[in-house]
Amino acid sequence: MKAKSSMGRLKRYIYPFRFFIALTLTIKLAGAVAELFVPYFMERILREGTVPGQQNRIYSYGALMILCAGLCLLLNITANRMSASSSGKITRKLRYDLFQKLNSLSARQMDKLTVPSAESRLTSDTYRVNEFLARGQRLGIRAPSLLIGGVIMMIAMDAGLALVPLSLLPIIALSVWMITRKSVPLYTREQTVLDDVVRVVQENVTGVRVIRALNKAEFERDRFDEVNDTLTRIDVKAGSISALNNPIASLVLNLGLTAVVVVGAYRVSGGGTKPSVIVAFLQYFVMILNALLGVTRIFIMASRSTASAHRVADVLDLPEDFKYDPVQDQPAEKGPVPHIEFRDVSFSYSGVGENISHLSFRLFRGQTLGILGTTGSGKSTIINLLMRIYDADSGEILIDGKNVRSYKKDELSSLFGTVFQNDFVMENTISENIRFFRPLEKDGISSAAQDAQALEFISGKEGGMEAPVAIRGSNLSGGQRQRLLIARALAGDPDILILDDASSALDYRTDALLRHALQKNHAHTTTILIAQRISSLRHADWILVLDDGKVIGSGKHEDLMEQCGEYRHIAETQMSVGEEAGE
């Protein structure tokens, strides 16, 4: 059945609840049977209770009728609660696993999936699955049983008269089928467009300052308008197609009821049937028609949730991208083992063109590497490869002579203290922002803050270390945010410190103080420093000048000044700006 295939890929989540669900469905079936007997006993009351001398049958059948109605109510309530409970638990586990999986995806997988799509899979798609599981259990057995049971009861009571309402059923079945066929693809598409809406909103929220600053609000509004319009169009179309369902159903209902009464009246006067049967028929016909609409709803829901179930399962079934994958490296060259080594590394994000080509360098423990280059030249990419956020396409990256692929994930990440470009500050206290949920001592935190030149501004804040930081650090200045992030990177006393554009908002003096503190208190930390300003990295032991993923110069500051035209050019430009600024 369609309902089953729609959840097929999530079978392992439903499986542990199979007995519970089977019990729920059995209770539902019992409820439906009880419901089917209500009109039956009513017919008996009308037929037998009206015969003189048999009035007491009114009471006995009446009691049975009330019993059936009460039973039906009780069983349905029980089963509905059970279905809510099992589907809730299934969805909870599903959502939990999906969240875990999303966290474990590699950057490459996330690039492909996109964040908004991940968000809507986690929210609206799991919700749809939940809705289907819950309502599917409620209607899945009940509607077909009432449909089939109702037909059987009518035929059993008066097969001839049953032909009248039953002949109308194909009409409504056909119209329902046509309507469903048209509306289901629309509902599926609606989900994709909803992704777009979330994406636009998300981009807008993240970039709200830039958008306002650049006066792009109108442009953004238009962009939102566009996706919003598309969504509305689909919604209206799907809605107006589905809206035909109920009027057509009530037309058929009224036609059927009239036909039953008219034909029934003829049969009564001809002695073919009893008036009581007509009354029961009227009830069964309403029941059957509602059941038919219920079956349709299940189909619509099944196809809507199929798309959602697939979207959830697609993520859950993604293979683990970053396997712990010990590789046999080329034996190291003679001499001391470098702390960090890149051997002829090439990499491309998209597979078209190279973002890093044939990069090689060696860095010994305690040394500092400076990386300089125009925007988009691949500086942050080097960090991404070193930290194994992406895997290199070719070449080897070694830390302590061991390929980064041979490190366990935690082992690798524990080596680094990193300030990423556009790193984030969270809504919490200053000290927690530095500690970042690691088991660090208070002293370590304040010395990290001191080295990061952050103590001064922290003690100026009310509450000092315990002062609150607002969402995204909006109550801090750019320079304060950077210092806080540097303190966070230093606080774990990492083996390798990475500062990607972390000193851009620091003034020259603070920048120099930071450098001295690093030299003094973190002498064994190997540092990679990405900066726009030559003054930040002129003291580095080794400097790489990048252009379009290629190294166009490498060496110490003095050598580069002599040998690398680009470097000299940048240095001269910055120096003249510095002189003009009176430095």
Q: CB under 5 to 8 A by kind: which of Mg ion, ligand ATP, none does 435 bind?
A: none
Q: Report helix, strand or coil for 529.
A: strand
Tokens of 155: 């035929």
For 557-581, give the DSSP string: HHHHHHH-HHHHHHHHHHHHHHHHT
Out of ligand ATP, Mg ion, none, what residue 355 binds, judged by CB under 5 to 8 A for its kind, is ligand ATP
Does residue number 254 form part of the binding site for Mg ion (CB under 5 A)?
Answer: no
Per CB under 6 A, does 376 bind ligand ATP? yes
Q: How far is the CB of 111 from ligand ATP (least distance, A)?
A: 5
Q: Which is nearer to ligand ATP, 126 or 554 (CB)?
A: 554
Residue ranges of alpha helices (H) inside 461-564 are 478-491, 508-521, 534-537, 557-563
Of 76, 80, 245, 380, the residue at the interface with ligand ATP (CB under 6 A) is 380
Calpha distance 28→38 (Å, rounded): 16
Q: Which does 28 bind (CB under 5 to 8 A by kind): ligand ATP, Mg ion, none?
A: none
Does 377 engage in binding with ligand ATP (CB under 6 A)? yes
Q: Judged by CB under 6 A, does residue 418 bind ligand ATP? A: no
What the block records as the tokens of 142 is: 């009940």
Q: What share of the chain is helix, strand, coil (3-state, %, to 5)?
A: 65, 10, 25
Q: Using the rule CB under 5 A, which residue among 380, 418, 480, 525 binds Mg ion?
A: 380
Q: How far is the CB of 380 from ligand ATP (least distance, A)?
A: 3
| Single residue of 140, 294, 378, 417 touching ligand ATP by CB under 6 A | 378
* Residue among 62 and 395 whose Cβ is closer to ligand ATP: 395
Q: Retrieve residue 371's tokens.
A: 């990386």
Stretch in the footprint of ligand ATP (CB under 6 A) among 112-120, 255-263, 369-377, 438-446: 369-377
| C-beta separation of 305 from 131 below 8 A | yes
Asked if 503 is part of the footprint of Mg ion (rule: CB under 5 A), the reply reads no
What is the residue whose two structure tokens read 């009224």?
254
- Cα–Cα distance measured from residue 297 to residue 291, given in angstroms and rounded to the nearest whole number: 10
370 or 378: whose CB is closer to ligand ATP? 378
One-character DSSP codes across 298-352: HHHHHHHHHHHHHHHHHHHTPPPSS------PPPPPSSSPPSEEEEEEEE-SSSS
Residue 111 found at the interface with ligand ATP (CB under 6 A): yes
421 binds Mg ion (CB under 5 A): yes
Residue 379 as a binder of ligand ATP (CB under 6 A): the answer is: yes
CA–CA separation, 281 and 301 (whole Å): 30
Which of the ranges 83-91, 349-357, 461-469, 567-575 carries the binding residues for ligand ATP, by CB under 6 A? 349-357
Phi-psi region of 265 (alpha: psi -120 to 50; beta: other; left: phi over 0): alpha
Nearer to ligand ATP, 111 or 225 (CB): 111
Binding site for Mg ion (CB under 5 A): 380, 421
Binding site for ligand ATP (CB under 6 A): 111, 349-350, 355, 373, 375-381, 421
